[in-house]
Amino acid sequence: MKYIYITHYNEEQINEHTGQVPMTPMPWIKNRARECLYGYTKLSFFQRYVYDALARLRGRTAMWPPNDMAYLRLQFVMRREESPHLPKALRKIAEVGLISYVDWSDPNTNADGSPYEPDANVVKTPTERE
């Protein structure tokens, strides 16, 4: 299955205290100067909403969103009239380089295909600490 990788998401979400991206669901997401991203300025209002909704969904679930239109429509709580415009909005967002589609058949790889290494700052269980 393909997933939607938000290009600048990890840079925006780094925790100032640990220097790492949180690996658990967050009650908030940081929205640092998105308006300054070149591709963001080329999006329509609806396309910006979809991009922001993808970032909120990523923060809420701590997973990259799947490229499944039915799932995204339900998560975004879209009205029936707006639903047909979602695929075109995602294509435009990908065209300007703000998202890409990644096939994670192996869950132990990162978006760039490199091996996934767990966060060193993630809280460990008592048996893992020893």
Summarised one tens digit per residue, pLDDT across range 73-104 is: 999 999 999 999 999 999 999 999 989 888 87
- The total domain count for the chain is 1
Tally of CB atoms within 10 A around 55: 21
Q: What is the pTM of this model?
A: 0.71
Is the pLDDT confidence value at 127 over 60?
no
Range of 62's domain? 2-129
Q: Is 90 exposed, middle or buried (0-12, 13-18, 19+ CB in 10 A)?
A: buried
